[in-house]
Structure 1
Amino acid sequence: MGQEYFNLMSFFDGYVKNYRRLNIGHYNNRSMLTRREIEYFAKLGEYLGYDSFVEDYKPNLKLGRSRPMDLSWWKYDARKNEDEYIKLVLHLERENLWTKDEETIEKLFSKTEEAYVPDYVIGIQNVGNKERIGILNKLVIQKNKKQNSDVLMIYRYSVDLENDEFIDKIWAFYFSGTRILQDRKAICDVDNSGYWFMCFEEEYKDKEKLRI
């Protein structure tokens, strides 16, 4: 089957612009944040006409067993096959623990059966610091040489401010094969009502925080 045609950076644009609608309060734990973000992309897949599965499974040939996918989009078309899905369109992983950043990439690019190789991959990963991102991008390029998916990696890291405050910075990269086609930065902060929102870095109003 031919590949679906998406510009994954447009998915990132929508993720940023709609983040406040996820209604994630500053009091919510990281598990709630993960759940809401996965639900957002599950609904997006359904709006695009795919069947979305949370905690789906795919074979890992290296381990000799199946491993879970946080989210998958499958394409069904009865004109081509009434009994089975015709392709795995997208595999998404969302990980809060920065100590598992390489494990997340391993999941996205694991050796698997041909029917489970996705056209598109999205990884949303908390990282310990900005410097870690370059290392992880090199690993993505290495792993994607064989899989050859279009990839969106969204990295999130916290920056400490004065008065025990902090801000989360977001840096997204769009890969095709072994090339980085585009990157874009955003900010994640808490609004006056106590809910997380995102905006692109160039749109952020509190310029003092961006100097950190």
Structure 2
Amino acid sequence: MNKPHLNLMQFFDGFVINYRKLNLNTQHNRSMFTQKEINYFADLGEMLGFDSYIEDSKFDKSKNRSRPMDLAWWKWDKREDPENYHYLALHLERESLPMKDEETIEKLFSETEEGCIPNDVVGIQYVDSDERISFLNKLVLHKNKQQKSNALMVYRFFDESLQVQKVLAYHFSAEGMVVERKAICKEDEFGYFSMIFEEEFAASGVEMSCINSK
């Protein structure tokens, strides 16, 4: 059976469009944001026909022990094997602490057993600023030369000048970066958070000079 790659940038599009449905507001703490976003992707995996497991684990050869995955999608096809999963379709990590940005990438691209190499990976993590993203993307490219996964990295940071959160997504094939897309996350007048694509935010008449600079 083939292992088709997922359209991860389309996943990002859906994440942006549906973010308001998570009903996250200023009263929620950091853990609640993490939980609801992971649950969103867990439900998405089940709807796409995968078995979703939150806090699953895989073996990390560098640590010589198993390490948790925030979320894993496994593909089971009885035509291939009536008892075992066919492959690890997706490994997702979601991290709120900028100080753990490198650790998040290490987990997504760790050396592991052959049956646990993810076909696709998604990382959603906060960073201190956009200057950090270039370094992290180079790290992803380096790590993925060995793993050769289809990868989506989503970086988030707060822009003081605009008082909004920037959300920058990068899609990597095994050969390198393919697509970049940007969005904005902000709260409405009732304190609930939603996302909007950068081009839609620009059309709303908000000054975009800071957003377009990197």
Question: Do Structure 1 and Structure 2 share a fold, with TM-score over 0.5?
Answer: yes
1:186 correspondence with 2:192: no
1:36-59 deviation line (CA, Å, top 9, x unaligned): 100000001000000000000000
**1:2 is aligned with what amino acid?**
N
TM-superposed CA distance for 1:206, in Å, is 5.3
- Separation of aligned partners in 2, 1:6 and 1:52: 15
Identity, in percent, stands at: 53
Q: Deviations over 1:127-172 (max 9, x none)?
A: 000000000000000000010000000000001137xxx2100100
Aligned to 1:96: 96
TM-score (norm 2): 0.94
**8 Å Cα contact 2:5-2:120 kept in structure 1:** no
d(CA) in 2 for partners of 1:180, 1:93: 19
In 2, Cα distance between equivalents of 1:37 and 1:169: 17
Partner of 2:15: 15
How much has 1:82 moved relative to structure 2? 1.4
Matches within 5 A, 1:34-183: 34-161=34-161, 166-183=163-180
Query: Aligned residue for 1:207?
Result: 206
Which 5+ residue runs of structure 1 have no aligned equivalent? none
Q: Is the 8 A contact 2:5 2:150 kept in 1?
A: no
Counterpart of 2:178 in structure 1: which amino acid?
L
Distance 1:91 1:125 in 2: 14
> TM-score, normalization: structure 1?
0.95
Looking at structure 2, the residues matched to 173 and 43 of structure 1 have their Cα atoms a distance apart, in angstroms, of 23
Whether the aligned pair in 2 keeps the contact of 1:74 and 1:89 (CA below 8 Å) is: yes
Q: CA RMSD in A?
A: 1.2
Displacement of 1:183: 0.3
Unaligned runs of 5+ in 2: none
* Offset at residue 193 of structure 1 (A): 1.8
Aligned length: 208
How far has the Cα of 1:6 moved from its partner? 2.1
**Aligned-partner SS, 1:122:** strand
Aligned letter for 2:151?
V
Amino acid at match of 2:206: K
1:108-133 per-residue CA deviation (whole Å, 9 max, x = no partner) reads 00010000001100000100000000
Partner residue, 2:26: 26
Is the 2:5–2:119 Cα contact (8 Å) retained in structure 1?
no
Post-superposition Cα deviations, 1:173-212, rounded to whole Å, max 9, x if no partner, equal 000013111000000000122100001011012513x344
Q: Helix, strand or coil: the match of 1:207?
A: coil
2:192 alignment partner in structure 1: 195
